[in-house]
Amino acid sequence: MKAAVYTTEKRLVVREVPDPIAGDDEIIMKVKYCAICGSDIHRYIYGMVKPGTILGHEFSGTVAAMGKKVSGFKIGDRIARWGGKITRGRDQPNFPPRYSAKERGFLPMFAGAYAQYMAIHADKVVKLPDEVSDIDAALLEPLTVAVHAVRLSKIMLGDFVVVIAAGPIGLFTIQCAKLAGALKILVSEINETRLQVASILGADYGVNPLRGDVVQQVVDLTQIGADVVFECAGAKNTLQQSLEMAKMGGQVVVVALCWEQAECLPVEWVGREVEMKASYGHLNSEWAISLDLMRLGKISTQPLITGIIELPEIDNAFRELLEPHSRSVQIVVKT
């Protein structure tokens, strides 16, 4: 089969690789779509992946083969990535005590879906309802990241919410925050294309922070500051911005992974007793929420998808998404 393989030159090269073989508990999926995720781009540029690795973890496709212990599926079933078995109570992520997203979260878990076929444990995929298209299902994982962040937040009906950055996670966060009760949402984003998409998806205000003081604009609109701020940029200065624009007793939910030393001046916001909450990944139970939101038409994906490419175009697509003023938002690979 053909797959995009990460090389020592920090590039993705399409090569012929052996077809995967299903283990007893595994499904072989014929990949249809795999969305390009920001964390894959981080792996790509920071070298947090071994040469020879096949990336890609936002996928949908069909069942092509199954191991002897797999039940509940049949050949041809439409499937997509899933969190895993839902446990009773609050199913906490199975992270070690000193978990680091930099050191652990960027190691490959399995050969990914930038390929024609992939092997995956049967618990890690779900059969798709008729109401959810294959291409929408490929975005189930980033939607679940946003669902998790909003469910961790303290949003209340009528709140003023700020979303810092309008990449795919930020754009899903806008929609989830609206569903959770946000009355007004301001989006801060330097990319004009993404600001336009944010407006389509429910943002009430769009601000380019390069053209003015975004903190002051939030204060001018609210008089007191934002109730909840979602930091979805991971840039060097956006954590400080987020904390500064929160109101007395407000909350900042840190969703993005910043790879640089963040600039932070606590004296600007400690006096307002601002709460900072980290959000990472998702709980298994939240995948079911995301799938239902898609099935019921509560979430829109089409404005995000600015490109559908073939596998040989993937390296150029990664490089395009690294450009700050690219007109691309979400690129999906069709294998």
pLDDT tens figures, 111-147: 899 999 999 999 999 999 999 999 999 999 999 999 9
Q: How far is CA 207 from CA 130, 145, 266, in A?
A: 38, 24, 24
Cα separation, 38 vs 134, in Å, equals 20
Question: What pLDDT shows up at residue 86?
Answer: 77
Residue listed under structure tokens 């795999």: 34
Cα separation, 175 vs 72, in Å, equals 33
Cα separation, 254 vs 275, in Å, equals 11
Q: Max CA-CA distance within the chain?
A: 63
CA-closest candidate to residue 242, choices 148, 153, 168: 153
Confidence of residue 85 (pLDDT cuts 50, 70, 90): confident
Cα separation, 289 vs 299, in Å, equals 11
Contact 6, 51 (CB under 8 A): yes
Confidence of residue 88 (pLDDT cuts 50, 70, 90): low
Question: What's the average model confidence in pLDDT over 95-110?
Answer: 66
Confidence of residue 287 (pLDDT cuts 50, 70, 90): very high
Question: What pLDDT shows up at residue 41?
Answer: 84
Count Cα neighbours of 25 within 13 Å in the Cβ-side half-sphere.
Answer: 5
Question: What pLDDT shows up at residue 91?
Answer: 61
Cα separation, 330 vs 21, in Å, equals 31
Residue 95 reports pLDDT greater than 80: no
Model confidence, pTM:
0.94
Domains of the chain: residue spans and CATH: 2-139+304-334 (3.90.180.10), 145-278 (3.40.50.720)
Question: What pLDDT shows up at residue 92?
Answer: 63
Phi, psi of 308 (to 5 degrees): -120, 120
Q: Which two tokens stand for residue 20?
A: 């995967």
How many other C-beta atoms can be found within 10 angstroms of the C-beta atom of residue 167?
A: 23
CA-closest candidate to residue 49, choices 2, 106, 124: 106
Residue 102 reports pLDDT greater than 60: yes
Residue 61 reports pLDDT greater than 90: yes
275 by DSSP, 3-state: which? Answer: strand
CA-closest candidate to residue 155, choices 41, 275, 42: 275
Cα separation, 198 vs 205, in Å, equals 9
CB within 8 Å of 100: residues ≥ 6 apart:
none
Contact 194, 167 (CB under 8 A): yes
Kindly state the helix (H) or strand (E) to which residue 3 belongs, with its residue range: strand 2-6
Question: What pLDDT shows up at residue 98?
Answer: 76
Contact 252, 243 (CB under 8 A): yes
Residue 19 reports pLDDT greater than 70: yes
Question: What pLDDT shows up at residue 141?
Answer: 95
**CA torsion sign, 81 to 84 to 90 to 94?**
negative
